[in-house]
Structure 1
Amino acid sequence: MEASGNHSIGAGGQIHPHALTFTGDSPATIENNHGTNQVASVGHMQLNRAILNRSENELRGLLSQGAPVNVRDRSGYEPLHHAVAYQDEKVIQLLLDFGANVDAKVGMDRTALHLAVRKKISLRVLLRADCNLNAQDAQGNTPLLWLLSQPLPDDSLDENIRLLITAGADVNVTNNSGNSAFHLLLNQVNNDNTHVYKMVQHFLEAGADTFLPNRVGRLPFDVFLQRSRFLHRGDRTSTSDDKSHPWKQWIESAEGCFLAFLESGVDFNVRDTSDELVAHLYLQRRYHMSSPITKQVTSLLSQKVDLNKIGKNGNHYIHELVTFVAAHRYYPGGENDLRTVLNRGADPNLQNIQGSSPIMVLLTFQQEYGLSIWGHSMNDLLEILLKSGAKPWIRDNSGNLPIYEAARNFPSSAREITQMLLLIKREEDTSQDRETLEWYDNTKHKKDSSWWDAWDRAVADDDWDRHKACLDVARKSLPVDIQETFYKIMIGILAEIYLEKAKERFSAKEISLNERRSFISSITKDARMLRFHLDRTWLEWAVTILEE
């Protein structure tokens, strides 16, 4: 019996059909996997023809009659290698049942498993045969490395990768070039291949070594950031709420990878190629999604980030976090993250390169981004900072005070915010704090001292007419754009303080009913004339007293 054709296996382990025919040398000298010589008989050629024809019965008959199951053809391939190419589960299993050597190596020292990595049916059968999952070919590639050394344009091979890893393939073996399967996978990361991000997470779950450098010395996390550009995407939004939206799929997959890297213990207190800190870049992104992943990432960052590192833009982590929480007003957990970094020792009065304290950053945010709807209560965020020791009288490099920004940027809630800031008692500061707060005595900030000192004296006293006049004079030292607004806020807050004092003094019988009525009448009259705001509760109380 004679047949012609070459015996060849192409790129990626593809066996050409004519590779199953034989040159017809009879008897032909071939070598089995034990290194001994056998004589190819007519029965041997019939064995390979049965594999080609996928004839299970014929193959079983030949093997039962003693056909050599591990015999090699002139190209060095055994029947099992040929059977793998045609993905006939029963034929492959039959060869294995009759003793086919599953780990026999052929060209480039590749095993049947190398040849089967892109063939799901063959792969499943071989994995059940207890084959060597980490056999390395002449290039040092294991079957998993060999599979990932070729492009993954879609998710058609993802299951094959999972099958290998689940079976126990080592994801950290490196080839002769110094790359592991994880390195090769990361080289295929891009925005079009969303499925690759899912495979990256699978590798991390399987124990991929995130501290193993690739052939050029780069760590996996660095490669992921550079390839995905995950932290450098601009202000991009989608009008679709459909989770199948391609952009949303990409961002969720990329963010999931980012979280998986963080959970694996990578050092994220590093700078990327833009020279910005990775943790800062994450918070600076403008397209965060209200997802559990975002909450997990920011929580983890806040627990472990180096609070002392300064970002490219001169911010510390606390400045970036305050901006992040304010920007993503529906983000769950922002207040807890802020408490976390403050409890870890973040300085609530730390100034960035612009001289802005965290309070200043918070109160200038709306002006920068034009937001007017808040999910987080501004008061709650401000209260967290104030309770941690934040001082509202620290000015920025432009000479602004946080209290000015409250009046400028929050017209609807300026009074409430300003009240929180004004009622922080400066007299409780230590002498060292006094020296630090240069504005207090320094002639450069004498104007600020005039209105704030006037305010301090007014709060400590109860002479309404006198201090109303003093504040009227002192307001001229305020920035022109907020003089009127700020004065009305101050005088309204002072009026409520005085009404509270009058209420307490009357209860203590320090003043008479007529004295209280006269005092309340004076304040309510000024409220109408000066058009400053009084809380509804105080107005109702005042009306009740005046009508008695």
Structure 2
Amino acid sequence: MDDINQELHDAALRGKIKKVKRLLRQGSNINQTDQDGNTSLHNAVKKDHRTVAKYLIKKGADVEKATLDGKTPLHLAASLGLLKSTKVMLSHGACMDEKDNDGFCALYSAASNGHFDVVRYLISHGAKVNKCKNERWNPLLIAAGYGYIRVVKYLVRRGAEVNTNDGSGFSALHNSAAYDHLDVIKYLIRKGADVNKGTNEGRTALHVAAFNGNLYVAIHLISKRAEEGHLDVTNYLISKGAEVNKGNNDGMTALQSAALEGHLEVTNYLISQGAENSHLDVTNYLLSRGAEVNKGDNCGRTALHIAAQEGHLDITKYLISQEAEVNKGNNDGRTAFQLASQNSHLDVTNYLLSKGAEVNKGDNCGRTALVNEGDNVGRTALHSASQNGHVDVTKYLTSQGAEVNKGDNDGRTAFQLAAQDGHLGVTMYLLTQGINVNMSDRNGYTPLHIAAMKGDFDIVKVLLEEGALVDVQDANGQNPLHLSSKKGSASSSDILAKHVEISEDVYQHKLSPEKALVSYLLEHGAKLDIRDGEGKLPVHYATNEVIRQMILASQSDEQKVTDANILKLSRLLPPDLWSFLYVALGIDYSIAEGIRERSREIPEQYIKLFQKWKTASTRTRKDLNAILNQAEAGGLVNKYLD
């Protein structure tokens, strides 16, 4: 936007009528938009400069021009509660039913901000209360959520449908219940709102009040969040016939929702209402404690299951005082004690034990809470606690006699699982409990194998300091160095001109975790000449050139093939032998091709010599150097190299 049009926008925003007139005489574009799509008329309306707005319209300003968000000047006036500017726009032909990009009209904008006077004026001039909506929200629903009782009452008086919803079944009653607007709830019910009407997920207003909301995407429009545990709202809904034991589509009742969120008052009150009542008047409710407190949802979860799982000790105590069955299982057979143990709620676990929880009761998968009892895959409570990094639970279980070296069906111990998932705290604690640091699973993996495979330097460091064997081979014949060499990826920046010289990264001690891990294993004596089941050395798995160099640089003199020798061999060997050689030495193919020159004619006896080396059952770098030395001694190198 050029300077003169920018000046017009600024003048309109500040209400400078004389400057606006002068700029228009000088040729300013009256409908020029800024980067957000605002015109000078939008700017005048924002600040309620009606004189400027009228003049701009008189000079041709487009009253229907929309911003990039689809908002016309009328939308802005309505949303800001500017009644007089709203009147100006309508008197000059603005369409009140025009919708912005979100599908909202001027009436919705006014209702969502509680501007009663603007709402009343728009409706009195023809705005349709039940048509001004997008795919989900309407003026009544949003006003109820914000608690704008005057707006709600006026909308209903002018024909707003009290039970209309957002498409997912969420109505004005649900929205007011979610945000504790008791006056709105009372009014809506008095006007016919259905207290037992469920959403598409089966949630009634009672569920929403007990759970305390945040269920739908549009909740972000709400600027003030209510306190949890709406006892007064819950009480009122029940007094109007809300079904206390009505479940949603998952079978979860309001009681279970309240227990999930830890609302003790709401939980207490709901239980006091007793069994299912099917719209019976509250005065006829029977306090049948101990009946519906054990009602399960579609998954068999009772309120006690949920409270124990979430760690709500006060709710757990109250439910048990109301005869909740401590050892009742859900559809999977899991008890409250198992759920509390699984989620590391020690206070709830201990309380349930004091109330007779059966520690040896198994679920449908055979899992029990006994410290050394395994589930169907052989994993104990200690396995679960260690794998999830729960240090306190791990300590508690070991204090109760959990076997630290017990393996699951695959032979994996709790220690291996902790190492696998990088839980350093659990790993270090178990090291103090007499674990076998070199114990392997069915695949031959020790904790060091697993940590090396994961690239976890901290765990590797601890394991080696505690005596982990660095060259134990797994079922595939691979040692930890094989596995750690696979970490990292090759890129053009990794490929160096010389094969054995270490990168500057190494000299400056600036190593990535993967490279540091390899370096640490090498420093602790990891053997380089161990071949796995496929006959591969650790260097063959090094996809990262720096890692490959680190391994090659760690070889003994007998193992090394010098850079010069590699260059010589690349020129001496015919293509078929060279292609074998670069694999045998672990040389990156792109490097090999980059330094290889055209092969020369080589005497047949040397070809046979190399072929013999290729087919030999044992091939070492020492043998290769010997062959090369023999070739040099015979004058072959000097003869065929420049």
Shorter-chain TM range is 0.3 to 0.5
**Which structure carries more relative contact order (alpha carbon 8 Å, separation 6+)?**
1
**TM-score with structure 2 setting the length:** 0.32
Structure with greater proportional helix content? 1
**TM-score with structure 1 setting the length:** 0.36
